[in-house]
Amino acid sequence: MQNATKLTTVATLAEGESFLFTVRERDGSEEEALVVHTADCVAAWLNFCQHETDQRLDRGTGAAIRDGEIICPKHGSMFDGCSGYCDNGKAADSTLVEVDVAVDDGTVYLTDDDYTFLHEGGIDDDDDMPSSSSHLSF
């Protein structure tokens, strides 16, 4: 696989879990991204809710995923893990920003030419996180 960077393995990333990593965009800015593993797919998205772009879906401890949907920890909007589409809550009718990945022989690779892998984990792994107003508990 040409121009691909190994991220993780499907065996390591259990169904219903996420893998957080940091990338550099073409303009030089850094972004967080997450790979999610659902019953139907392995997909990757930039790590922010479409309702509030400063709201991280994975705050460094794994994204909340239920029945194949990624749940925004602040407002409870639920994004389909395979399509990124949200049909409920404050982010309804929006779609997460996709990051291209491929699975080859059980290994998950970053294949998106718009992003360069920097490191595993978030940009700033600190405890300065927005509060939650979600009615859901995890």
Q: How confident is the model at residue 53 (pLDDT cuts 50, 70, 90)?
A: confident
Q: Please report which confidence band the pLDDT of residue 70 belongs to, taking 50, 70 and 90 as the band edges.
A: very high
Report residue 103 as tokens.
Answer: 């699975």
pLDDT at 125: 55
Q: Name the CATH architecture for the domain at 5-120.
A: 3-layer Sandwich (2.102)
Higher pLDDT, 41 or 135: 41
Residue tagged 């400063």 (tokens): 54
In 1-138 the beta strands, taken as DSSP E runs, fall at 5-9, 18-25, 30-37, 42-46, 64-66, 69-71, 78-80, 85-86, 94-95, 98-99, 101-104, 107-110, 115-120
* Residue in the block written with tokens 């589409």: 85
Q: Which value, in Å, is the radius of gyration of the alpha carbons in the chain? A: 14
Contact present, 65 and 73 (Cβ < 8 Å):
no
Percent of the chain topping pLDDT 90: 82
**How do beta strands 18-25 and 30-37 pair?**
antiparallel
How far is Cα 43 from Cα 121, in angstroms, rounded to an integer?
17
Q: Per-residue pLDDT tens for 87-128?
A: 999 999 999 999 999 999 999 999 999 999 999 999 975 444
- Torsional sign, CA 86, 89, 92, 95: negative
Residue 15 DSSP one-character state: T
- By C-alpha distance, which of 21, 121, 131 is closest to 72? 131
Q: Which helix (H) or strand (E) holds 69?
A: strand 69-71
